[in-house]
Structure 1
Amino acid sequence: MTATPEVAPAPDLSHYSDYADLAAEIHRLKAVPLAWVRSSLKVPFANFGDALSPVVATALSRLPVAHRAFDGRNLRLAAVGTIGQNQRNGTVHVWGTGFDAAHGRMAESGRYVAPPDTQFVIHAVRGPNSRRTLLQAGLHAPAVYGDPGWVLPRIFPRILPQGEATPGTELGVIPHISELATPQPEPLMRVGLARYEGGTEEGVRIIPTYHEPSMAGFRGKLDEILGCRRIASTSFHGLILADAYGIPCALLSGSLPPGPHIIPLPESAGLLDHRVADFYLGTGRRNLLVYGQPTGQPTDWAALIRAIDRHYQPFAHDHAALLEAFPVRPAIDPTAARWPLPADFEQLLRW
């Protein structure tokens, strides 16, 4: 008699979600449906800030992620990045996402208008400006704020290479991807951006956020950042990750007069990049260090380093509410200082 082959039981995923629709989709896919900007044939590199979405979602859930388009008619989770206004169709669970009304669907009033055939389930947004955009559009949005990228030190703590007492790079400069001549990991800047010239001779490292689409590429980019004693950034995630890891940092601005500025919050939030203002307003931070440097003039790197050393103030904020709002029930203790990663973590990710 032929033995009946043993059928492996389906994995128990009941603890992975508190929301019935998302839970059902996770059960069907055996993965978290996630919308983020991933590498493509057109841009064969991952952008570090965008890649934080699958890294954090997988670290919390220990599930693989299934990539979802911004305009699909399916159910999905949107997390890291200013991507909320680009979502349309289907059901979108929002966790720590930014909404920029200026680049979304606009009404005659100049306000964001939620697209038709789209249901938003808002768990948390990046900050109060994103929440205001949603409230003005008639959408329910709780006052839960934060960027999931802030938790990266719990996943990858800052550990210097063996034998090194201090980071080797005096100043890391992280440009926004719009300042690159082409989307690539090499620091080839657009013509006319003289402020990035001449840094390598003075212990300065220009660190674009693009990297090879792999775990090794992601970790290599993170190690570049963590190998710096100070950070100056026009990249939003370059700035907040430096802050999260306790690396003295400054926002680099081309619109403010040259030199250091201590920008009070919330009074002068309008002087900041909208993403930066949105996030830090939600954290309760009272001021932010900004260094004015015209884009067309060479930077006095020594003066920038002195400004950071003199004016940077370490900052930490309580992001417990953000973690509690994660709509996929975590498979680890999110309050732990360190999140242990499964052996197959790299295989669970998509780039």
Structure 2
Amino acid sequence: MTHKKVPVKKKAPVGTPSPAAVPPPFPQVHCYSWRPSGGRINFGDQLAEVIVDSVLMSRGRLRSEEVRRPARLLSVGSVLHFARSGDTVWGTGVNGKIVEEHHRFEALDVRAVRGPLTADFLRGRGIAVPDVYGDPALLIPRLLPGRFVPTGEEGPIFVPNLNDLPHVASLALPIPVVSPLRGWNHVISRIVASRFVLASSLHGLIIAEAYGVPARYVRLTERETLFKYQDYHAGTGRTDLTFATSIEQGLEMGGMPGISVSFDPLLDAFPHDLWSDPAP
């Protein structure tokens, strides 16, 4: 199955911004992570803060530091519609379910985006975007060396998208289901222990492929558009995304073609400059 680019559909934004505590009396960088309204954050969105923390700590810094000027960073997730003018973008992507007019920003500081479909969307709005692609979750093996080791000791698993959970609960699937509502470390541990990952969770696919575990996108419902999967796929240097429509078909198809591009440019594009030291 070969699928063409899917247009951005019309739907209002869902979820809420990250809950904020009492703001500190000094400028900081706020790292956005999406949380569903009244629900539990899924493991992919948990990774936003994990990854930013890990990159910063590689240079001896912390997110909580006072900086020269306040800033807002959007990284992991299909959260571009939550961006505001002046925000910095590193690896974020368009959510195909959100209507274009709900993207209310006029200017962004873009360092990298998830893939070329997101780049085209932004460039169509007159925003400069470098040719630096990739979801930051692809960097986890490098940022957390030795923390998670692929073993392939367990059989195939299925990691559903958050919005697929009600449907999945009604099915008798032939392989174990790993809930995306578990902690990010638990989900990654289950993925690297598996010899094959089937997923409708985008980050289930990303984590598997980052660790070299064969993976296949399984599209059980139409609750998500194809946009983010195609965007990620193209951002990793691949074309012609193919997918299964059942677990059985996914097992038969096997893994998708592997990633062969380097993500050094993505890591190099991290906006360390946002954490510039404050004036004396």
Q: TM-score range by the shorter chain?
A: 0.7 to 0.9
CA distance in 2, matches of 1:177, 1:306: 24
Q: Describe the SS at the equivalent of 2:30.
A: strand
Check conservation: 1:101, 1:133, Cα contact below 8 A.
Answer: no
TM-score, normalised relative to structure 2: 0.74
CA distance in 2, matches of 1:79, 1:136: 21
Q: How does 1:1-351 map to 2 (within 5 A)?
A: 28-29=26-27, 32-38=29-35, 42-43=38-39, 45-62=40-57, 63-65=61-63, 75-88=71-84, 91-100=86-95, 102-106=97-101, 114-115=103-104, 119-156=107-144, 157=146, 158-159=148-149, 166-181=151-166, 189=168, 191=170, 194=171, 197-199=172-174, 204-211=175-182, 217-254=183-220, 273-293=226-246, 299-300=247-248, 304-308=250-254, 312-328=256-272
Q: State the Cα distance separating 1:114 from its structure 2 match.
A: 5.0
Check conservation: 1:60, 1:330, Cα contact below 8 A.
Answer: no
User: Closer, same or farther in 2 for the Cα pair 1:312/1:126, shift >3 Å?
Assistant: closer
Gaps of 5+ in 2: 1-24, 65-69, 276-280
Residue identity in the other structure for 1:103 = I
Q: State the Cα distance separating 1:151 from its structure 2 match.
A: 0.6
- CA offsets 1:291-311 (integer angstroms, 9 cap, x no match): 232xxxxx53xx643431xx6
CA distance in 1, matches of 2:217, 2:96: 23
- CA offsets 1:274-332 (integer angstroms, 9 cap, x no match): 11111221222245452232xxxxx53xx643431xx644323211111121111599x
CA distance in 1, matches of 2:243, 2:215: 9
- CA offsets 1:101-155 (integer angstroms, 9 cap, x no match): 651442xxxxxx7526x54111111111111111111212222111100011113
TM-score, normalised relative to structure 1: 0.60
Check conservation: 1:32, 1:64, Cα contact below 8 A.
Answer: no
CA RMSD of superposed structures (Å): 3.1
CA distance in 2, matches of 1:141, 1:208: 34
Check conservation: 2:216, 2:256, Cα contact below 8 A.
Answer: yes
Structure showing greater Rg: 1
Matched with 2:15 is none
Report sequence identity in percent.
Answer: 26
Q: State the Cα distance separating 1:38 from its structure 2 match.
A: 4.4
Residue identity in the other structure for 2:194 = C
Matched with 1:10 is none
User: Closer, same or farther in 2 for the Cα pair 1:198/1:119, shift >3 Å?
Assistant: closer
Residue identity in the other structure for 1:94 = V
Check conservation: 2:80, 2:94, Cα contact below 8 A.
Answer: yes
Check conservation: 2:139, 2:267, Cα contact below 8 A.
Answer: no
User: Closer, same or farther in 2 for the Cα pair 1:237/1:198, shift >3 Å?
Assistant: closer
Alignment size in residue pairs: 240
Q: Describe the SS at the equivalent of 2:133.
A: coil
Q: Describe the SS at the equivalent of 1:237.
A: helix
CA distance in 2, matches of 1:234, 1:129: 19
Bigger strand share: 1
Greater than 6 Å deviation, 4+ residue runs: none
User: Closer, same or farther in 2 for the Cα pair 1:92/1:313, shift >3 Å?
Assistant: same
